[in-house]
């Protein structure tokens, strides 16, 4: 069943049910492995000091397939496992919270919804805003940097990355929707082709 919005009891009931399914958990584990593997691929330079990484592709896919309940658990596990495999500095739970909320946003826009270019754009815009606001907060807490300075720099970078990341997700989902539908990870109504609206 598809939903126009996540503000219904049946939406959250389906999300909780999907979270308890073994195939959803297995898919999430594969997406965690994909995030770790994608972190090893060099990022794409887009302008001066702006680089597009790859991990958001797996997070968005996991949010779309697993739903919002699964997204929170996935985000915590993915951030923690990624840190344990490639530690950089001390572990900071704020970054895990950002990953959890980012994957949750993807789920709220894409899970059991008609996947469209507009929904993908709005999901990416929301996660980029989250990255700007929370990323600047974590930098202020950890390194004593001025919040507004970090946020304004991050805002410019995320604004530049937004169209590139949106196109990457559109291309990925256009290829994945039929495959995920055939193997039963998406409702049949959502697995035909990507729409604009």
CATH of residue 136's domain is 1.10.1760.20
Q: What percent of the chain is modeled with pLDDT above 70?
A: 97
Q: Confirm whether 3 is domain-assigned.
A: no
Residue 96 included in any domain: yes
In this predicted model, what pLDDT tens digit does every residue of 54-86 receive, in sequence order?
A: 999 999 999 999 999 999 999 999 999 999 998
pLDDT given at position 50: 79
Is residue 139 a part of any domain in this protein? yes
Percentage of the residues of the chain whose pLDDT score is greater than 90: 77
pLDDT (0 to 100) of residue 36: 92
Q: Is 4 part of a structural domain of the chain?
A: no
- The string of pLDDT tens digits covering residues 148-165 is 999 999 999 999 999 999
Q: For residues 151 and 137, give the distance between their C-alpha atoms in angstroms, rounded to a whole number.
A: 8
Which domain range does residue 150 map to?
Answer: 9-190
Cβ neighbours of residue 46 under 8 Å, at least 6 residues apart? 52, 160, 161, 164
- Predicted local distance difference test score (pLDDT) of residue 89: 79
- Residue 191 — pLDDT band, cuts 50, 70, 90? low
Q: Is residue 196 domain-resident?
A: no
Which pLDDT belongs to residue 37? 93
Model confidence at 9, pLDDT cuts 50, 70, 90, reads very high
Summarize pLDDT for 86-139 with one digit per residue, the tens: 888 788 999 999 999 999 999 999 999 999 999 999 999 999 999 999 999 999
Provide the pLDDT for residue 189.
Answer: 64
Asked if residue 46 belongs to a domain, the reply is yes
Name the band, by pLDDT with cuts 50, 70 and 90, for residue 42: confident
- Please count the structural domains in the chain: 1
Confirm whether 117 is domain-assigned. yes
CA–chain centroid gap for 75, Å, is 9
pLDDT of residue 192: 65
Note if the pTM is more than 0.85.
yes
Q: Would you say residue 1 lies in a domain?
A: no
**What are φ and ψ of residue 122, in 5° steps?**
-65, -35
pLDDT at 51 (0 to 100): 81
Instruction: Count how many residues are written for the chain.
Output: 197
What residue has token string 């606001």? Answer: 133
Number of other CB atoms surrounding residue 21 within 10 Å: 12
């Amino acid at each position: 069943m598809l939903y126009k919005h996540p503000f219904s009891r049946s939406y959250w009931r389906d999300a909780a049910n999907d979270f308890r399914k073994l195939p959803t958990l297995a898919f999430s584990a594969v997406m965690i492995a994909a995030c770790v593997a994608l972190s090893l691929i060099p990022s794409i330079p887009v302008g001066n000091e702006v680089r597009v990484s790859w991990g958001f592709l797996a997070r968005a896919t996991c949010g779309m397939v697993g739903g919002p309940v699964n997204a929170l658990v996935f985000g915590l596990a993915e951030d923690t496992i990624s840190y344990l495999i490639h530690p950089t500095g001390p572990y900071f739970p704020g970054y895990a919270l950002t990953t959890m909320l980012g994957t949750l946003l993807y789920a709220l826009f894409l899970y059991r919804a008609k996947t469209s270019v507009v929904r993908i754009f709005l999901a990416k815009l929301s996660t980029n805003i989250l990255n700007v606001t929370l990323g600047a907060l974590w930098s202020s807490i950890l390194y004593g940097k001025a919040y507004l300075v970090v946020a304004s720099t991050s805002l410019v970078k995320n604004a530049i990355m937004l169209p590139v990341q949106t196109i990457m997700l559109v291309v990925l989902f256009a290829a994945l929707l039929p495959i995920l539908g055939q193997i039963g990870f998406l409702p049949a109504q959502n697995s035909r082709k990507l729409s604009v609206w």
